[in-house]
Structures are given as C-alpha cells and as structure tokens.
Structure 1
Amino acid sequence: MSRPVYIIDGSRTPFLKAQGGPGPFTPVDLAVQAGRPLLARQPFKSSDFDQVILGCVNVIADEVNPARVAALRLGMGEDMVAFGVQINCGSGMQSIDTAYRYIQAGQADMILAGGAEALSYSPLVFPQSGVRWFAGLATARTTLAKLAAFFKLRPSYFKPIIGLERGLTDPVTDLNMGQTAEVIAHLMGITREQADAYAVESHQRLANAQAQGFLKGEVETAFDRKGKYYDHDDGVRPDSSMEKLAKLKPAFERPWGQVTPGNSSQITDGACWTILASEDAVKKYGLKPKARIIDSAWSGLDPTVMGFGPVLSSNRLLKRNNMTIHDIETWEINEAFASQVLACLAAWKDDKFCREVLGLDGAAGEIDRAKLNVDGGAISLGHPVGTSGNRIVLHLVNAMHRLGTRRGVATECIGGGLGGAMLIETV
C-alpha cells in the first residue's frame, strides 16, 4: 500500500539570534508559539491528528520528550501519541519524512510534524575531570576520606564547557563543523571572496523577502511571558557588504581559513510545524493541499566532508525518480556555511566528482543561483539545528507557489557525515 501524502499548511516562529544567554523561549515554548495560530486556523480539531513528531537536538532537562509536552500544551488531548526524532541538522526534515512514511503506508491519516530548537539554552557542562572529582567527594564515606577528596580540588574543575561547542564537534574525526567546511572549500577551490559574496547575497535576499511580505503567513508573531512580541527573523543584516565581511578573521583555521562568523549560519532559536495528510483526510475535512511529497532520500559519507551531504542525497533521490538537477525548478539547500553550499554547487559541476562519487557518466550540471534559496537561508536567518530541515521544506512549498514552479528539492548536510533530501511537487 502506497498512498499520496500532502503538505496542507505550516508555520514557524521568527528565528531569534542567540544573544549570549538563554533566550525568551525554550524549545517547547517555541513549538507552542508556532503551533497555536496554525492549529487555530484549521477546519478540524487539534485532537484529530494521529500523531505529533518533533525534531529537537538540544533537548533541555525540563522538557524531556518535547513533542509530548508541546502536544499537551497545544491542547491536542491526553491520548495524543507524540515523540521526538534526532538526526542532528536533519531532525526537522526527519520528522516530516517519518510522518510521510506513516501516512504513505496507511498507518495514519494526519500528522503534525515539526522541529524546535533553542540553541541559546545549550547547557554549560563541567569537564570530565571535574565530574570525577564531584563523584569522588560524593562517594567518600568517612570524614578523612572527604577531606582527602576535597584537597584534590583544582580550579580547572570549575571551568565550564559550552555544550553546543562539543555538540558541533564530530567525535570520530574531532573536527568541528566549521573545520569540515574548510576541508571541502579547499577541495573544491572555494575562495574567501566567493564565500563572503554568497553571504551578502543571503542577507539581501532575506531583507527583500521581509520587505516584500513574502514571509507573511509563514512566520507567526511570538509573545513571551512578559508581553514582548517578536515578529521577524532578527539575524538579517541588510547593510552587509563585502567590505564589512572582509574585516572578520577566520573562525576555525587561522590565519588562512576562509570560514568566518560572517559567512556561517547563525546560532539561533526557532520552531516550525508542517501538517501532513492523506487523501482520505483531505476529503474528510475539505482540505486544500499545497504540495505533495514525492520521495525522500538519505545518504552517509565521511564525516570529514559532511558538507557534501546534499549532493549525495539529492543524487540518490533524483536517480530513483529518473530526474536530473535540470528537472528541479526551485532548490532549498540549508546554508550551514557559504563555502559548504558553494562546494556542493561546484561538486555538481565537477566531472571527476560526479563520475567517481556519484556514479554518473559526467558532470551533473550547474544549478542556477536564481533557483536556489530565493529568500535567503541560514546565513541570514539562522540555523536552529532541529528546526532548519522543517523550515526549508515549508518555505520551499511557499516559494514554489509564489514563483509558479512545480518541482522542488529541499536538502541539507548533517553533522556526523549524512545528508537528506526531499522531492516536492506543488498541487
């Protein structure tokens, strides 16, 4: 049994740049802020969903299983099944993919799939040496043993480590994500100037989308507990320029590296939801689908070059559907780093790469930049890790409707050496 699966609607919060401390919303707060207006405008009850699936990487201790907590706070009923998925940067897309497979197989008719991430809530953790000292002190039984344990104390035991820093470092290669971007930039000959130019363009495109009102209906105003409201993605810098970006120092490989804070995705908080439904649900509730999910694909590769993930996963997806990159009219590639996106574009044009890595007869071809990330991406928006995959699918659908295009691909690289891609067709 294989049934068509439709994207009905979706919404997200503004993406809010981390400002050096916990932001106004936890992951569940964000999920609730994005979900309430979305559910309120539907012609069915929130309890009519079969499941809730939420991508979240940085789950905080007070919200274990944030999908279930969000579902309850959204009034979806005590019997609502809700669970989380985690595949690093692909978590938000994985929630859609998991929902897609459930509905396609006839095991569900309507699922709320999303992603929520508050990177500003990334914990501070003690070094392992400090943890072992605390453990020794706690397990000491006699006064003498406790004194002996206490005098082993070192000031370094209290130096905290930002959990996000460790989370963005691959434990197998010991390279952080920025360093992997440096690797593929070197392999594909991407220059600092090219990366900075791409970053400027990302900010300009998002600023234009905001000015033109292209994001209305997708971005919901969020209200914090103090009554302050947030109505736009606040990481955008409309005045970004090559001259300003050229002044920034490399973040990971000094002095010659080309990945800087200016041409990298931003550390951000945000949530996004997408409603998926079967044909039966569409008829039952009189829904108007926006798009149909045609297929999805995931690929693994060397974590050192994880940035090539979109090329491998998209290639698998297109080959399975007898398509080439030229059949795709609109693309969303998550902008982890400007050099990473540019390296992917270069790989598709490289005859040797396509033959040896993708198994093609030659170069796949060139993706027109006018078809790619038409309203900016994570460099200007930010990259709340568990959310981004959901956002790029939802925005791809909305952008295709605005542009009048039919086929689109949303794809991303994933920390740990993975890539994901989803093929969408407008209805």
Structure 2
Amino acid sequence: MRQAFPPDEFDAVILGCVNVIADEMNPARIASLRLGMGPAMTAFTVQINCGSGMQSIDIAFRAIETGKADLIFAGGTEALSHAPLVFRQQAVEWLGGFATAKTPWEKATAVAGFRPEMAKPVVGLERGLTDPISDLNMGQTAEVVGHLFGITREAADAYALESHQRLVRAQNNGFLAGEILPAISRHGLLYDHDDGVRQDTSMDKLAKLEPVFEKPYGNVTAGNSSQITDGACWVVLASEEAMNRHKLTPLARIVDSEWSALDPSIMGLAPTLCSTELMKRREFSREDIDLWELNEAFAAQVLACLAAWEDEQYCRGVLGLDSVFGRIERDRLNVDGGAISLGHPVGTSGNRLVLHLINAMRRLGLKRGIATECIGGGQGGAMLLEIA
C-alpha cells in the first residue's frame, strides 16, 4: 500500500463482492493479508448485488460516524470472467443417484439414465442475473421500465453512443489517469486503459444489433447495456482524528446515504426512490445537486429514471413529492460515461461510482453530488457527498 502510514493502522477492511469464487470465500480477508495488513486485521466481505461496493463504504462511514472506528479500507471487487460453470439440475440429480447406487445393477441402471444434454453446463452468471421472485433477468426488467416510460430504441442507442463518446473524451484528456491504474498481464502486456469503449461506434452500428432479452421486439441490446467485465476499487475512509494523526488530505466528505427497495420487476427505478428520500431528509432540491453518477446498468433504465423524475403522477404517488422532481440536465449526469462504455463489475461499481463522482466534482470545481444505482432484486442505493 502506498499510504503514509503502516497498513496495519487500519481498524478494518470491508470489501464488496457478488460472485465470490470457491477458492477465496472471503476476499476481503485474503486481500488484507496479501496487502500486508497483518493477521490481526478484521476483514469481511459484503454482498447486496450491484450495490456491494457502495455498501462497503456505507458500513465504514457509519462505523466512523458512531465512533467505533477511525480508519477503514473499503472497496469492491469482481471477476465476472471467472463466473463458474454449473451443472443443470437434471445432471445434479443424476450424479446424486449414481453416487448412492450400491449394487452393480443399481449402478448400471444409473448409467443408463445419463443423457448427453446433462453434460452441457450453465454459466453461473446467467442464473445470477435472473431474479428468482419475478423470474425476470436484469435485461428484462430494463425492458419493463423502458416500456412504462416510453423509452424508444433510438433513445436508448443515443444514450449508449453518448456514454462511449464521453468515455473516449475522458480517456483522451487524462481525466481517469489518477483513478484507473494500468494493469500488467502475466505475460508482461501493459493495459493502460479499459478497452470496452467503442471509439468507432455509431447510431447506425448500434441500430444493427438485435434485442438480447425480448426477441424480436425488445429495445435492450448488447450495445445499450452495461458490459460484463472485471474490476476492483478501493477507498480510504478516515475520521477527523485519523486525518490529523496521519496527516491525510481529505478528498470529500460523506454527508449521508440511503437504501430503498421496490418490486424486483422494476428494480431499475430504485435510484429515484433512494436519491429522492436522501434529498428530502437533507432538505435539498434538485438544484442543490451539482453532479450525478447514476450507474448505467442499461440505457433504458437510466432514461426511465430521468423520465420518472419528470412524471407528475410518479413523483406525487410514488416519491411523495408535492410536484415533479424535474429534469436532471445531461451535463450534470455521468459526465465521463459509465458502465455502458466502461463496464459493470457488479461488486465494484458502487465503489467506483463514489470515487469517480469525487474526482469529477474536484476537476469541475463543483461542491455536492449524488452517486446512485439500481440493485438486482429490487433495491437501490444512494450516497451524498460534498467536496472537502
């Protein structure tokens, strides 16, 4: 670690992760040991689907706020490329029957019951991205909220194109240089930027992509959805006493946070609930928020949230407002692109959103911002930050 204090000075390590692999069941503990933080360091992993990286920050924030800790290392990590392959239920049942067969006749009968399709595995991520209550995958929920608020295919593609263009601009101007570190592969290859961005994409190219989740008439495609990728992010949270003791310079202050829940089939609208409730509690209006980071799970989902905030019936009936929340201008939202162009490593994204919001506000000379995201299973998280 490249801090001005020993790594064992932390009070705890908290790491968000969704698809924990079998070889490393508590990645927070493993990370803390590999970072030389000592065997006495308490470390635990948290999981709330897409909000896991933000949850790690929130738990740390509340612990410091109540005086239970002074210095916490909070992060998020995900390696979706390592999502396991799993057996089909039919294959599991067959293996169970074969394993318990005792006599030669029972074993022969079990072998005879094997079918070739049992050998075909299922990508665990496919199951993980399907809600067992609504029986909809995340892309289908985006289709639902897009339909509810009349989000067209053209509008979703246009938003996706803008996400790529904004990320290209951010990369070319070095806006992410202090935030995203270069990676070196085992074979010595240097990767100095994320390569999910499509510099040459266009509305024509996006329009040629077929719907993925609701064929043939859906609007959600691979081009206007977040990318499946790997990633990790860490932040240091410190009390005022810890900052003085270790001579740390704060980047921002966490003001408050909020978590909300709703029907899983419309999980994409959750940012409107948690963000609005957070602002109501702090008596802030839309104009008081200088910058927004709203995770780009799907273009249709982001646009549905923006439309919901301008819908009087939704704002009065669902959000409990006296009038419409109003329009969030696009120059205040995801100014450097987002998960559509950068990727959405689910356990990491909430952490990255908070960190990037801080860096973007500092770069643009802004004071106050909200990082928010929808969460698979019908939840949402929001965090309000101010530049120190």
Q: TM-score, normalised by structure 2?
A: 0.99
Aligned-partner Cα distance in 2 for 1:108–1:414: 28
Size of the aligned set, in residue pairs, is 388
Instruction: Kindly provide the amino acid, as one letter, of the partner of residue 62 in structure 2.
Output: R
Say which of 303, 307, 310 aligns to 1:342: 303
Instruction: Kindly provide the amino acid, as one letter, of the partner of residue 85 in structure 2.
Output: L
Say which of 153, 157, 166 aligns to 1:192: 153
Counterpart position of 1:204: 165
Runs of 4+ aligned structure 1 residues displaced above 6 Å come to none
Residue 298 (str. 1) matches residue 259 (str. 2) = yes
Deviations 1:242-261 (A, max 9, x none): 01101011111122110000
Say which of 396, 399, 403 aligns to 2:364: 403
Counterpart position of 2:68: 107
Say which of 292, 313, 323 aligns to 2:284: 323
Say which of 342, 347, 368 aligns to 1:386: 347
- Following superposition, the deviation at residue 324 of structure 1 comes to 1.8
1:2-401 matches, cutoff 5 A: 39-40=1-2, 42-401=3-362
Deviations 1:223-273 (A, max 9, x none): 233222222111001111101101011111122110000000000000000
Deviations 1:145-170 (A, max 9, x none): 11111111111211111100110000
Aligned-partner Cα distance in 2 for 1:186–1:226: 46
Deviations 1:163-213 (A, max 9, x none): 001100000011000000000101001100000000000000000000000
Aligned-partner Cα distance in 1 for 2:278–2:242: 27
Query: Identity percentage over the alignment?
Result: 66
- Following superposition, the deviation at residue 103 of structure 1 comes to 0.7
**SS of structure 2 residue aligned to 1:306:** helix
Aligned-partner Cα distance in 2 for 1:45–1:383: 32
Aligned-partner Cα distance in 2 for 1:226–1:261: 30
Deviations 1:293-338 (A, max 9, x none): 0000000000010000100010111111111222100000000000
Deviations 1:4-32 (A, max 9, x none): xxxxxxxxxxxxxxxxxxxxxxxxxxxxx
Q: TM-score, normalised by structure 1?
A: 0.90
5+ residue gaps, structure 2? none
Instruction: Kindly provide the amino acid, as one letter, of the partner of residue 255 in structure 2.
Output: I
